[in-house]
């Protein structure tokens, strides 16, 4: 403690030239004996004391006179960083009761009075008493203090517990009433008495009685009682624990399996002799080492951190293959370590089983790699058949944006090939050697979609796998995840997806451990997300996160140039799959296909051609092979230049002309909007306008 912690900071002070009357007022207000006199910079000039004031009165000075002739110009002052012990000695030796206090720059910042010192000593005394009481109450032993008259002055909580009384009922009573048969005479004469046995009811204690000495004389005694009953109970419990440890040690060393126990940090805390013998070392040499120093490829430290058990795994140690199981040690719901059990495959049957299992694992790894390789090679921007400018532009953009890691939003009608573009982006990116994981947000029920995306912890819900399950985001680590039909995702999941996009981490359902993954997100939808945002069905902040790069897939009706190459490509694939020999389509069929508006886009075209291939089997596909709804449009047949007025073709032609004129009238002559109203492509509208002789 320093002087600045105990001084008075409200400083009454005088300046040169001030009057006696001013000094009298300050003496009356502050009730101190000396007032600092300071200059303009608050530096100490002197002090004006009550004695100075009385001297001035004796010299017949008036209240209007200045204080200057009577100021003590070399007063005693104290720096504010003076330690408490030094201040205490100064106060004892000082003839005056007040002194100015100066800060580090020599300016007056307070005054020190003997009253400040007394208050500080009282506070320290109170603090020491509180600390002493807390220490005594925290002691397990009972403490009873008596004065020189053998009256009780203090009991701690342990003494209250043993006596069954409270301190307020005991203080002041003779000690013989509380502790019959105990004697403090020896301690009051100045000699300690230790190690004597004393019984209180059913409690046996050891009593130590010590004198309390003040200034050379004995002021009282303190009695400390140590409860032997609890010590004996603890000794019995300790012996039981020792016996259990001996039993455990015997069990661990008579079994043929190896046992290794580690703490949460992966440090070996227990190991049996079987493991030590296998490693040709001692148990003492293994305890305290990290488990990875004992077995280089051990995963026991990982189980100690994650709490996820691993059963019947193969671990290679040199040329040996050991069968290991790793189980977490749970305490109060928290993983505090792990136990590893090692089966040493001495039997020929076990060695053969391990060999077969190892072979199966190698085959599985090979097939997984081959599957990934085929998946990577199967998707390429060049494999997307398109010659129309809109689709060529989409392909070029996909190839260009594949280099980065920004999110991509693909929009377009159902069946336009959004998934193909997403796979192509992955195939052209640096992530192509890692997984491409697809999730259809509309096909998975909402209550299951969260656990599918983010996985779930062990025991997260009824029926959950007890080992937990990784989600699609974890499976797509360092790869690409394709969220199809993102517009159908619930607002709850949208919020969790937004958090992942911001932090690149998440927690499994029912879990608390944060999972960090590196995933590129490509999403797609056939919905108008702008309208969904206005209707409150889609988060605007998530839309901006997903829409960093936007690719729009044009519908098939807006790119008629792609129809013919698509037909050829699809028929070649159908021939391979269905073992047919379709040579193409007739001119009539091609005209019918071009005139149709294709609401289902490329997917519908594939279905139409597959149906036709089933009927045709070989040769070209003819109109009779097509589904009836395509033929009912009547647009695939050649139109006569001058059909008769009574024919159906003439009436159809008149109806077409009237419908087109009405559409043009509604759109103010805008052909693009008119084509949309008529549900036909713009190029088809131009053909109709020319054939019907409509000028606009």
**What is the rounded average pLDDT for all residues in the chain?**
81
pLDDT of res. 88: 67
Bridge partners for 142 per DSSP: 225
Full-prediction pTM beyond 0.85? no
CB 196 within 8 A of CB 207: yes
Yes or no: say if 438 and 484 are a contact pair by the CB < 8 Å rule: yes
Determine the Cα–Cα distance for residues 603 and 412; give it in Å rounded to an integer. Answer: 13
| Distance (Å, whole) CA 584 – CA 566 | 11
pLDDT of 348 > 60? The answer is no
Residues 229-285: pLDDT tens digits?
Answer: 766 777 777 777 777 777 777 766 667 788 889 998 989 988 888 888 888 888 888
Is residue 44 within 8 A of residue 34, CB to CB? The reply is: no
pLDDT higher at 267 or 34: 267
**pLDDT tens string 357-395:** 665 665 565 456 556 555 544 455 556 888 889 999 999
Which residues is 35 bridged to in the sheet? Answer: 48
The DSSP letter of residue 226 is E
Are the CB atoms for 169 and 163 separated by under 8 Å? no
Q: What pLDDT band is residue 95 in, cutting at 50, 70 and 90? A: low
Residue pair 586/626 in contact (Cβ under 8 Å)? The answer is no
Other beta carbons within 10 angstroms of residue 645's beta carbon come to 7
CB-CB contact of 141 with 226 (8 Å): yes
SS (H, E, C) 655-673: HHHHHHHHHHHHCCCCHHH
Count of beta carbons in the 10 Å neighbourhood of residue 56: 20
CB 512 within 8 A of CB 334: no
pLDDT above 90 coverage of the chain, percent: 18
Instruction: Specify the higher pLDDT residue, 675 or 240.
Output: 675
At 155, phi and psi to the nearest 5? -135, 140
pLDDT digits (tens, 9 = 90+) for 121-180: 677 766 777 777 777 777 778 888 888 888 888 888 888 887 777 877 788 888 888 888
- Among 73-77, 329-333, 443-447, 588-592, whose mean pLDDT is lowest? 73-77
For 65, the 3-state DSSP assignment is coil
Lowest-confidence region among 105-114, 302-311, 410-419: 105-114
Strands 480-484 and 520-525, how do they pair?
A: parallel
Nearest to 488 by CA among 434, 541, 537: 537
DSSP codes of every residue in 227-252: EHHHHHHHHHHHHHHHHHHHHHHHHH
Residue that the structure tokens 């890691």 belong to: 405
| Total H helices, total E strands in the chain | 28, 25
Q: What pLDDT does 638 receive? A: 40
pLDDT tens string 589-615 = 888 888 888 888 999 999 999 999 998
Residue 8 has pLDDT above 50, yes or no: yes
CA–CA dist 650, 175 (Å, integer)? 130
Domains of the chain as residue ranges with CATH: 3-121 (3.10.580.10), 139-232 (3.30.450.20), 255-346 (3.30.450.20), 379-552 (3.40.50.300), 556-631 (1.10.8.60), 648-692 (1.10.10)
At 564, list the tokens.
């013919």
Long-range contacts of 679-685 (CB under 8 A, 24+ apart): 679/597, 680/557, 680/597, 681/557, 681/558, 681/560, 681/597, 682/558, 683/560, 684/560, 684/594, 684/595, 685/660
- Alpha carbon 553 to its chain centroid, in Å, reads 38
Residue 227: alpha-carbon gap to chain centroid: 49
């Amino acid at each position: 403690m320093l002087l600045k912690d105990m001084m008075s900071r409200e400083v009454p002070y005088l300046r040169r030239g001030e009057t006696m009357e001013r000094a009298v007022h300050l003496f009356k207000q502050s009730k101190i004996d000396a007032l600092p006199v300071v200059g303009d910079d608050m530096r100490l000039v002197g002090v004006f004391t009550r004695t100075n004031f009385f001297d001035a009165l004796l010299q017949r000075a008036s209240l209007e006179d200045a204080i200057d002739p009577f100021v003590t110009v070399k007063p005693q002052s104290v720096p504010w960083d003076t330690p408490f012990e030094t201040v205490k000695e100064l106060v004892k030796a000082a003839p005056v009761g007040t002194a100015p206090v100066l800060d580090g720059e020599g300016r007056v910042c307070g005054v020190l009075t003997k009253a400040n010192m007394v208050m500080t000593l009282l506070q320290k005394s109170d603090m020491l008493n509180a600390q002493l009481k807390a220490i005594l109450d925290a002691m397990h032993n009972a403490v009873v203090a008596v004065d020189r008259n053998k009256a009780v002055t203090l009991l701690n909580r342990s003494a209250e517990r043993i006596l069954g009384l409270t301190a307020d009922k005991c203080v002041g009573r003779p000690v013989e009433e509380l502790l019959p048969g105990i004697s403090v005479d020896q301690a009051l004469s100045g000699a300690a008495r230790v190690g004597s046995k004393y019984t209180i009811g059913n409690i046996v204690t050891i009593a130590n009685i010590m004198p309390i000495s003040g200034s050379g004389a004995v002021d009282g005694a303190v009695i400390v009682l140590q409860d032997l009953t609890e010590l004996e109970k603890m000794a019995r419990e300790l012996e039981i624990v020792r016996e259990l440890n001996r039993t455990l040690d015997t069990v661990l060393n008579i079994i043929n399996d190896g046992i290794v126990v580690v703490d949460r940090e992966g440090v070996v805390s227990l190991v049996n002799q079987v493991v030590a013998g296998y490693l040709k070392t001692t148990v003492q040499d293994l305890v305290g080492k990290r488990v990875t120093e004992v077995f280089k490829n051990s995963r026991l430290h990982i189980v100690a951190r994650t709490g996820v058990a691993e059963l019947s795994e193969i671990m290679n140690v040199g040329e040996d293959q050991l069968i290991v199981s790793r189980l977490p040690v749970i305490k109060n719901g928290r993983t505090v370590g792990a136990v590893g059990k090692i089966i040493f495959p001495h039997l020929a049957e076990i060695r053969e089983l391990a060999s077969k299992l190892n072979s199966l694992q190698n085959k599985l790894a090979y097939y997984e790699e081959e599957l990934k390789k085929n998946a990577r090679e199967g998707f390429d921007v060049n494999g997307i058949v398109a010659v129309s400018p809109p689709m060529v532009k989409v392909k070029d953009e996909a190839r260009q944006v594949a280099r980065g890691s920004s999110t991509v939003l693909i929009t377009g009608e159902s069946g336009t090939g959004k998934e193909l573009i997403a796979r192509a982006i992955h195939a052209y990116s640096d992530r192509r050697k890692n997984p491409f994981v697809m999730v259809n947000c509309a096909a998975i029920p909402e209550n299951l979609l969260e656990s599918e995306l983010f996985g779930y912890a062990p025991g997260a819900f009824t029926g959950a796998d007890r080992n937990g399950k990784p989600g699609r985001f974890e499976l797509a680590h360092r790869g690409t995840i394709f969220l199809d039909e993102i517009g159908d995702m619930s607002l709850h999941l949208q919020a969790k997806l937004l958090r992942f996009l911001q932090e690149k981490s998440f927690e499994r359902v029912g879990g608390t451990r944060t999972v960090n993954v590196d995933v590129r997100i490509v999403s797609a939808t056939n919905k108008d997300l702008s309208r969904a945002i206005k209707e409150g069905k889609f988060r605007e902040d998530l839309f901006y996160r997903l829409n960093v790069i936007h690719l729009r897939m044009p519908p098939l009706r807006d790119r008629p140039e792609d129809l013919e190459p698509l037909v050829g490509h699809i028929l070649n694939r159908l021939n391979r799959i269905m073992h047919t020999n379709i040579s193409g389509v007739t001119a009539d069929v091609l005209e019918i296909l071009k005139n149709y508006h294709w609401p289902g886009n490329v997917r519908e075209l594939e279905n139409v051609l597959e149906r036709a291939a089933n009927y045709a089997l070989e040769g070209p596909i003819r109109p009779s092979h097509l589904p009836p709804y395509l033929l009912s449009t009547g647009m695939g047949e050649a139109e006569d230049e001058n059909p008769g007025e009574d024919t159906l073709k003439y009436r159809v032609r008149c109806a077409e002309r009237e419908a087109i004129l009405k559409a043009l009238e509604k759109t103010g002559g805008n052909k693009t909007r008119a084509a949309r109203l008529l549900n036909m492509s713009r190029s088809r509208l131009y053909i109709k306008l020319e054939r019907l002789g409509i000028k606009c």
